[in-house]
Amino acid sequence: MANTLQLPIIDLSSSDLPSTIDSIHQACVHFGFFYLINHGIQEDLLKSVFDESRKFFSLPLEEKMKLPRKEDRGYGPLYAEKLDPSTKGDSKETFHIGPIDDKSTVSHLNQWPSRGHLDGETFGASAHSDYGMITLLATDGIGGLQVCREKNKEPQIWEDVHHIHGAVIVNIGDMMERWTNCLFRSTLHRVMPTGQERFSVAFFLDPADDCIVECLESCCSESNPPRFPPIRSGDYLKEKFMMTYGS
């Protein structure tokens, strides 16, 4: 059985801004995961999101398949996402949407069901790190989320991330790790089956498609040169999605 990980808890209502900034920095360096409390997201809104997610995912498969995933927008059925290439795919369903009003993105690709229209995921997810910059995650309280802080060491040690009512879980993605020359951690995580249906809602914060992701000057030196070449954000994410979904 995995140990429970005590992640840092960042209070956004704190009046001590320097201390908050330092706490976030330390969390990104040492964990790659942390909790946010007093974040301003209304509890009623989150409840509504989960309610609508349950309504959508309870629809018959043929109804959900009327909104098939196109360029990372829309519905993904069981096993469509293959985070671990050695498996047949992850035992979860997904529904992805992107920005609505941002003219710099392909917002026209969004697909909308008649009822229930926010991202939700059920069941498990293989071990992976998120592709983008920052992820904000809300869960329904059902356990299963685990992290591995030392992803390059064997054997891997997995620790449970417990639910804190009202808190949002934040984690660093591969793009931020790349930007900071591995100063900030893109932490390996997974969702283990618990025998219960589980819903989560993830907000993936990524830069514009044409943004060049290259090592920040403050994160490299002569003794610590950049580890990754510059790349366009959109190209990087597209490559990752193609590897995951096979198309």
> Of the given ranges (5-14, 107-116, 139-148), which has the lowest mean pLDDT?
107-116
CB of 233 closer than 8 Å to CB of 175: yes
pLDDT in tens, 14-39: 999 999 999 999 999 999 999 999 99
pLDDT reading at 9 higher than 60: yes
Q: How many CA atoms lie within 13 A of 137 on its CB side?
A: 24
pLDDT reading at 225 higher than 80: yes
Task: Tell me the residue range of the domain where 179 lies.
Answer: 3-245
pLDDT at 119: 60
Q: Structurally, how many domains does the chain consist of?
A: 1
pLDDT at 118: 40
pLDDT reading at 120 higher than 70: no
pLDDT at 117: 39
Q: Rounded to whole angstroms, what are the CA distances from 227 to 72, 182, 216, 222, 234?
A: 28, 8, 11, 12, 20
Alpha-carbon dihedral angle through residues 80, 86, 90, 94, given to the nearest 10 degrees: -40
CATH of the domain at 168: 2.60.120.330
pLDDT at 121: 38
- H/E segment holding residue 54: helix 43-57
Alpha-carbon dihedral angle through residues 218, 169, 22, 236, given to the nearest 10 degrees: 0
User: Tokens at residue 224, please?
Assistant: 């610590």
User: Residues of the chain with pLDDT > 70: what percent?
Assistant: 91
pLDDT in tens, 140-155: 999 889 999 888 888 8
Q: Rounded to whole angstroms, what are the CA distances from 122 to 9, 88, 92, 133, 184?
A: 26, 17, 5, 23, 28
pLDDT at 201: 92
pLDDT at 188: 92
User: Tokens at residue 37, please?
Assistant: 């409390």
pLDDT at 161: 93
What average pLDDT does this structure show over 56-69? 90
CB of 121 closer than 8 Å to CB of 94: yes
CB of 9 closer than 8 Å to CB of 167: yes
Residue 164: name the closest of 44, 55, 43 by CA. 43
Confidence of residue 124 (pLDDT cuts 50, 70, 90): low
What average pLDDT does this structure show over 47-73? 89
Q: Which residues pair with 172 in a beta bridge?
A: 134
